[in-house]
Amino acid sequence: MNEREAILAHHRKAIEFVKNISKNQWRTRIEEGKWTVAEVIGHLPAWDEFVLKKRIPLLFFHVPLPKGPEAGKLNEASAKLAREQSQRETTAQFVDIRTQLYEAIRNIPLHRWQESLTIGSSTLTLADYLQGLKEHDEHHFSQIKALYERE
């Protein structure tokens, strides 16, 4: 499986994973003093939307990509929204934006995956960038899976 197929498979699995989170787990804290599952999932669409709208359109214009938003503010606003929304609303938001991101990634030609990108003072390939996003998801999904193991 090439890098693109691995990333796309990850996004398909992420959508299914989020759609299958139990109602019992949804408002459970991933650890004492940490976010709930709802808040963890709720912060992902904001980052997906940033990537989809602010970075992917500029990928191949050979310009530095915009710095990300201030993480603390974006995460807290997203977590607050997830506390106020139903599981159905937060899940639908995740699925919608992640599906759009999946399609945008799927449409990037394979030969572009090893081209260099500049974000701030960092230079990396598209494959490395998307791998980093995948690892971010996997970190949070492993936290959620650990809840199931504790039951």
The phi, psi pair for 123, rounded to 5°, reads: -120, 130
At residue 59, the pLDDT reads: 84
- Are 116 and 60 in contact by the 8 Å Cβ rule? The answer is no
Place of tokens 């999904």: 141
Residues of the chain with pLDDT under 70: 151
At residue 17, the pLDDT reads: 97
First-to-last C-alpha distance (Å) of the chain = 34
At residue 64, the pLDDT reads: 80
At residue 151, the pLDDT reads: 62
At residue 67, the pLDDT reads: 87
At residue 42, the pLDDT reads: 97
